[in-house]
Amino acid sequence: MDTLLDPLSYAFFQKGLIVATISGALLGFIGVYIVLRGMSYIGHGLSHAIFGGYAAMQLFAAQLYVLGAGLWGVASALAITNVARRSRLGADAAIGVVTTASFALGVALFARFGSSGPAFDNALFGSILGITNAQIFWLLVVTAFTGIVVFTRYRALMFTTFDPEVANVSGVRTGRTEALLMVMLSLAILVTLTVIGVTLVAAMLVIPAVIARMLTDSFAKMLMLSTVVGSFAGLVGMYASYFAEVPSGAMIVLVGAVIFIIVLAATGARGLRRSAGLDSHTETPARQGVR
């Protein structure tokens, strides 16, 4: 027992535990919308895009890197949405072009000029070292913002996710709703990046949501379950990372993967049937905009 409580005696670990648990919950919560829209790849792309902004801001105004990376991420998200909607490129191709270019820029800037902020490895794979109270504050702000938006726009978000064309003609401003979702996603990735890491954030967007989908056919329950699974993976993964002495992001994702395997084994064909099609980037005529 003492061994389990031992890491809690360190202030940095306490902060890490709080951030990991809330990060897992936030990514799990918002991941439901991403997964149900068949846009799992966007989390992967956006985290890489934000890395570019993160690196660039280190050069010009290191103390503002959170703000700069956030704006970069939001701009990337809106660019992806815009490119996918207006051009003949699919969302996958748009994500591939916009975000990998941004990531490449980040790598180039880090390699050429180095970092005055968090280390390169930490940005990629997550670290609990050096978490500040300000980071916890912003994580809480983004979590509260996301919760309020989803609460007040629950039906509009659900309708836009399920049937965007009919939502649009039924009075839902689908363009604005999609943009709001992209802003929430960008902010969520930004404030969870320090603990989870650029390369692993996407997994925490997808894994809890897929697990929740295998367990329920109810949208509201899926939101709750995904949030719980995400926070559990964050909590247990953070603990495990301390004892295993591996980056926190990697351990959090591994815990999520283990839960996935257990749920897959327990739900069997029923779970597979429920989660069928989540990875298909099938474009409905409405999303394609052509007919």
Partner 1 sequence: MSSPLISLRSVDAGYRNSTVLHNVTLSVSRDSFTGIVGPSGAGKTTLLRLLLGSMKPQRGVIDRAARLPVSYVPQLETVDWNFPATVSECVLMSRAARRVPWASRAERGEVAAVLDRLGIGDLGERHIRELSGGQQQRMFLARALIRKPQLLLLDEPTSGVDISTRHAVLHLLADLHADGMGIVLTTHDLNGIAAHLPHLVCVNKHIVAEGTPEEVITPDVLEETFGAQMEVLQHLGMLVVVDPGGPRRMVS
Q: Does 158 bind partner 1 (CB under 8 A)?
A: yes
Contact 182, 81 (CB under 8 A): yes
Q: Does 34 bind partner 1 (CB under 8 A)?
A: no
CB of 220 to partner 1, least distance (A): 7
The token duo for 35 is 């997964």
Residue among 19, 49, 167, 182 that touches partner 1 (CB under 8 A): 167
How crowded is residue 61: how many other Cβ atoms within 10 Å of its Cβ?
A: 11
> Quick one: 63 or 87, whose CB is closer to partner 1?
87
58: nearest Cα among 6, 117, 99, 2 = 117
Structure tokens at 69: 């990376």
Q: Can residue 269 be called a binding residue for partner 1 (CB under 8 A)?
A: no
Q: How far apart are CA 51 and CA 72, in angstroms?
A: 9
Contact 156, 165 (CB under 8 A): no
Binding marks (x or -) toward partner 1, 198..237, rule CB under 8 A? ---------------x--xxxxxxx---------------
The reply to whether 148 sits near partner 1 by the rule CB under 8 A is no
CA distance 83 to 94: 6
The count of chain residues that interact with partner 1, using the rule CB under 8 A, is: 39
Minimum separation from the CB atom of position 230 to partner 1 (A): 17
Amino acid identity, residue 114? G
Please work out, in degrees rounded to the nearest 5, the angle formed at the alpha carbon of residue 123 by the alpha carbons of 122 and 126.
Answer: 55
Nearest approach, Cβ of residue 289 and partner 1 (Å)? 7
92 lines the binding site for partner 1 (CB under 8 A): no
For partner 1, the binding residues (CB under 8 A) are: 36, 151-156, 158-159, 161-163, 165-172, 213, 216-222, 273-274, 276-277, 282, 284-286, 289-291
